[in-house]
Amino acid sequence: MNDNLTADRPTFVTHLECSMTGERYEADRLHGLSRVGRPLLVRYDLDAVGRSLTRDALAARDTDLWRWRELLPVRRTENIVSLGEIETPLVPISKSAGGGNVLVKDEGRLPTGSFKARGLVMAVAMARELGVTRIAMPTNGNAGAALAAYASRVGIETIVFCPEDTPEVNVREIAVQGARVWRVNGLIDDCGAIVGKGAAEGRWFDLSTLKEPYRIEGKKTMGLELAAQLGWELPDAIFYPTGGGTGLIGMWKAFDELERLGWIGAKRPRMYAVQASGCAPIVRAFEAGEEHAERWDDAHTVAAGIRVPRAVGDFLILRAVRESGGKALGVGDPAILKAVADCARADGLLLCPEGGATLAAYREALRTGEVDEAERVVLFNCATGLKYPMPEAPNWLDRHAAIDFDAL
Amino acid sequence: MNDNLTADRPTFVTHLECSMTGERYEADRLHGLSRVGRPLLVRYDLDAVGRSLTRDALAARDTDLWRWRELLPVRRTENIVSLGEIETPLVPISKSAGGGNVLVKDEGRLPTGSFKARGLVMAVAMARELGVTRIAMPTNGNAGAALAAYASRVGIETIVFCPEDTPEVNVREIAVQGARVWRVNGLIDDCGAIVGKGAAEGRWFDLSTLKEPYRIEGKKTMGLELAAQLGWELPDAIFYPTGGGTGLIGMWKAFDELERLGWIGAKRPRMYAVQASGCAPIVRAFEAGEEHAERWDDAHTVAAGIRVPRAVGDFLILRAVRESGGKALGVGDPAILKAVADCARADGLLLCPEGGATLAAYREALRTGEVDEAERVVLFNCATGLKYPMPEAPNWLDRHAAIDFDAL
């Protein structure tokens, strides 16, 4: 049996710090944003981690998310919650990627069918460790489903707010998994405002993206896994669908931690933050050379997961993209839908629209010479494609009639 | 990188044999049913496997399905097809199982969201190895989706026939993954008759459950994995949702092979074949002491995956259940739906209806004393619950109005 969930292991969190000012915050306390309203980052005694854990010891463990325990914030083993956070596979897609050397990291295999499970499993475990009994959160869908599943499992009460056009499947999934869920006539930041108001009144703990420090620690396991799966040699480029950007920020943090452990070298992938043209605040700020991104008005795209008009971690996303030599790229809905269709038909892999956006951006980058087809590239498919609408297939056959086999 | 997909490894198939008469058939040839119309089973030189492979060597490999290569039929590495067939996690469900020692093997994490991927990845790889270029198959949904994905990936043409009330999501998924799909006004055996007629005319290869010999070899990896995950100590009981029964037959075969390799002892789990009361041919035959099961008329259940009125491997299912000291159990639709709802709400795990059927059967078995709550039990959740209808969650909130936080 997997003992990652049951074995006590040493932990190494020293403190938290403001991602903007560097101000220190005490570990093992409940925190939201820093005093200047920016995300807090968890810091570890990495020298001590390096003395306690080797890559070989890690390789001998089961490959799920909890094998990274020494680089995670949960102190007490009994606070771990799990629905089976497997290491997600890397699936090559040669045909729809136009011959490039492209691997899709298929995050749809995680509990509740999306990469949101990584962040929420950690946030809920930490909420449990720190005594939280009631959580609220705004969500475009998948994060709410992951929160509901983990919180119900450990008996924490949850209230979730979704934009009015959140896919029906997500809203229902959140409800059946034991949360109370409300549709709101607005976008995700309107939902966030309601959560913030309730939190200010002491009604619940606010678990919004980056507004508590632990989702990023869960998301950084994408970077840790990728390094281990590729033999501690990072890819040349990563295309990441970017809404709140927690995953991109998390991976960038993971790579730094791995280098300081001496497990990888200084080489970094170029990080491409992919957004939909109908909601591209990071792309606009990147191109304008800004450090922060203004709110995007009239946001619209088929890729609801990246329909995020304002990201509280905007400067962290932009910083990572620039340091890496990457770019922020916008793609239109028709290109997204075509990428999803092509990948399913040719490579047998059904992407979510946000995953399709990364493939569309990669194809465009290949066309413009931004990437070379010999480069190893990883695209993130952040959720199972099964949650999203697919075209009708209206073929009918009458078994009582003579069948024209030539026409089938 | 995972080298299970790329490393050449020795293979050990000696021949195939009729599951009814024991008649031998040559390996490395295209086969359907045996001369007496029964499934063919693949046989290996297990002594040679044992000399070539140890449990330790196996433990050092990546954990996906292809690590079992020496116990699988594919000869040439280049015929392997893969969409990331990960080892599926075992998720404990303490609350909804009423306190028992219950693990759910969550097969919804496989490519295309169901355990059908195990059988179809093997059948398609073998079809490729044996030169097949056109495949047809009847399906209640998930098998067709898996076939379409793998066959499209390797460029094999596929035609799929579904009963008229197959869930819309399955039909669309099959189509977007590149197969031609037809709804037929009938049940799965009506669809099977069309496939059989076309195959007899030489129009395509018939890939129906158990009508070709390799799906069972893919499905047996459920048994191989379970043994490895549980430290080579099988559970006390397995509850398996039973339509065509390929997985149950496959696991039973796997356990025999593992014992002959000396990797497990003589202990076997009691095998419980779970069916819906509205389509329970195996239950009826089990209770009547019959060796074969008659076709079930007017089949109906919410669990479409086990709505199989007649199984060509009926006698193999019944034989395994009886040898194991298990039973065939029927559960009603209300108990199935309640099990799905309870497990999602209390344990955060969204089962498919067929998975819900195993939980409902387990609860009933616990109540009647058929199983003891101290026994270790594995339930098979054969597909992601996301493909199935969920109840509405009709809560609306107006962000422009004053919010009554106490009412949320």
CATH number for the domain spanning B177: value is 3.40.50.1100
pLDDT in the model for residue B1: 66
Instruction: Determine whether the interchain pair B172/A393 forms a contact, defined as Cβ–Cβ distance below 8 Å.
Output: yes
Q: Does A61 touch chain B (CB under 8 A)?
A: no
Closest among A381, A25, A71 to A218, alpha carbons compared: A71
Q: Write the burial class of residue A322 (CB in 10 Å: 0-12 exposed, 13-18 middle, 19+ buried).
A: middle
Q: Does B59 touch chain A (CB under 8 A)?
A: no
Are A247 and A307 in a shared domain? yes
Question: How far away is chain A from the Cα of B307, in angstroms, using its nearest Cα?
Answer: 19
- Cα–Cα–Cα angle for B239, B240, B246, rounded to 5 degrees: 150
Q: Classify residue A407: in a domain, yes or no.
A: no
Provide the token pair at A381: 């498919």
Nearest residue in B to A194, CA atom: B399
Torsion of CA A185, A187, A192, A195, to 10 degrees: 20
Write out pLDDT tens, residues B331-366: 999 999 999 999 999 999 999 999 999 999 999 999
Is residue A174 scored above 90 in pLDDT? Answer: yes
Residue A221: CB partners within 8 Å, gap ≥ 6?
A: A65, A68, A72, A118, A250, A254
Are A41 and A131 in a shared domain? no
Q: Classify residue B84: in a domain, yes or no.
A: no
Q: Does B384 touch chain A (CB under 8 A)?
A: yes
Are A58 and A103 in a shared domain? no
pLDDT in the model for residue A2: 80
Provide the token pair at A325: 């030599």
Question: How far away is chain A from the Cα of B43, in angstroms, using its nearest Cα?
Answer: 30
The B residues from 265 to 324 touching A (CB cutoff 8 Å) are none
The B residues from 235 to 254 touching A (CB cutoff 8 Å) are none
Q: How many helices (DSSP H) and strands (DSSP E) are in chain A?
A: 13, 14
Nearest Cβ partner of B63 from A63, A106, A150?
A63
Q: Classify residue A396: in a domain, yes or no.
A: no
Provide the token pair at A377: 């590239």
Instruction: Determine whether the interchain pair B384/A387 forms a contact, defined as Cβ–Cβ distance below 8 Å.
Output: no
Are B121 and B262 in a shared domain? no
Instruction: Determine whether the interchain pair A172/B408 forms a contact, defined as Cβ–Cβ distance below 8 Å.
Output: no
Q: Classify residue A397: in a domain, yes or no.
A: no
Instruction: Determine whether the interchain pair B395/A346 forms a contact, defined as Cβ–Cβ distance below 8 Å.
Output: no
Give the Cα separation of A245 and B251 in Å (integer): 43
Are B54 and B192 in a shared domain? no
- Asked if B180 and B136 touch (Cβ cutoff 8 Å), the reply is no
Nearest Cβ partner of A153 from B2, B201, B347?
B347
Instruction: Determine whether the interchain pair A194/B63 forms a contact, defined as Cβ–Cβ distance below 8 Å.
Output: no
- Asked if A66 and A59 touch (Cβ cutoff 8 Å), the reply is no
Q: Does A193 touch chain B (CB under 8 A)?
A: yes
Instruction: Determine whether the interchain pair A175/B393 forms a contact, defined as Cβ–Cβ distance below 8 Å.
Output: yes
Are B288 and B356 in a shared domain? yes
- A400 contacts on B by Cβ (under 8 Å): 185
Domain-terminating residue out of A180, A206, A232: A206
Are A253 and A301 in a shared domain? yes
Q: Does B399 touch chain A (CB under 8 A)?
A: yes
- A346 contacts on B by Cβ (under 8 Å): 152-153, 178
Write out pLDDT tens, residues A221-280: 999 999 999 999 999 999 999 999 999 999 999 999 999 999 999 999 999 999 999 999
Nearest residue in B to A229, CA atom: B1
Nearest residue in B to A190, CA atom: B399
- What is the total count of domains within chain B? 3
Are A321 and A220 in a shared domain? yes
Give the Cα separation of A364 and A377 in Å (integer): 14
- Asked if B356 and B326 touch (Cβ cutoff 8 Å), the reply is no
Closest among A25, A67, A70, A73 to A47, alpha carbons compared: A70
Question: How far away is chain A from the Cα of B176, in angstroms, using its nearest Cα?
Answer: 6
Q: Classify residue B399: in a domain, yes or no.
A: no
pLDDT in the model for residue A99: 82
Are A329 and A368 in a shared domain? yes
Give every residue of chain B whose pLDDT is below 70, as ranges: 1
- Output phi, psi for A370, to 5 deg: -60, -35
- Asked if A305 and A141 touch (Cβ cutoff 8 Å), the reply is yes
Are B382 and B261 in a shared domain? yes
Let me know how long chain B is: 408
Are B261 and B290 in a shared domain? yes
Q: What is the mean pLDDT of chain A?
A: 96
Start-to-end CA distance of chain A, whole Å, equals 48
Question: How far away is chain B from the Cα of A284, in angstroms, using its nearest Cα?
Answer: 28
Write out pLDDT tens, residues A332-382: 999 999 999 999 999 999 999 999 999 999 999 999 999 999 999 999 999
The B residues from 354 to 373 touching A (CB cutoff 8 Å) are none
Instruction: Determine whether the interchain pair B184/A397 forms a contact, defined as Cβ–Cβ distance below 8 Å.
Output: yes
Instruction: Determine whether the interchain pair B408/A198 forms a contact, defined as Cβ–Cβ distance below 8 Å.
Output: yes
Query: Which of the four pLDDT bands, split at 50, 70 and 90, describes residue A389?
Result: confident
- Asked if A156 and A219 touch (Cβ cutoff 8 Å), the reply is no
Instruction: Determine whether the interchain pair A390/B174 forms a contact, defined as Cβ–Cβ distance below 8 Å.
Output: no
Q: Write the burial class of residue B185 (CB in 10 Å: 0-12 exposed, 13-18 middle, 19+ buried).
A: middle
Q: Classify residue B3: in a domain, yes or no.
A: no
Closest among B379, B277, B377 to B328, alpha carbons compared: B277
Give the Cα separation of B313 and A256 in Å (integer): 55
Q: What is the DSSP string of A209-260?
A: TTTSSSHHHHHTHHHHHHHHHTTS---SEEEEE-SS-HHHHHHHHHHHHHHH
Write out pLDDT tens, residues B266-286: 999 999 999 999 999 999 999
Q: How many helices (DSSP H) and strands (DSSP E) are in chain B?
A: 13, 14
Write out pLDDT tens, residues A122-160: 999 999 999 999 999 999 899 999 999 999 999 999 999
Q: Classify residue A189: in a domain, yes or no.
A: yes
Domain carrying residue A275: 90-113+214-386
Nearest residue in A to B64, CA atom: A89
Q: Classify residue B166: in a domain, yes or no.
A: yes
Are B345 and B313 in a shared domain? yes
pLDDT in the model for residue A1: 66
Q: Does B234 touch chain A (CB under 8 A)?
A: no
Instruction: Determine whether the interchain pair B391/A175 forms a contact, defined as Cβ–Cβ distance below 8 Å.
Output: yes
Amino acid symbol at B31: H
Nearest Cβ partner of A392 from B172, B191, B194?
B172
- B384 contacts on A by Cβ (under 8 Å): 113, 384, 386
Do the bridges between strand B237-241 and strand B90-92 make them parallel or antiparallel, or are there none, so unpaired?
Answer: unpaired
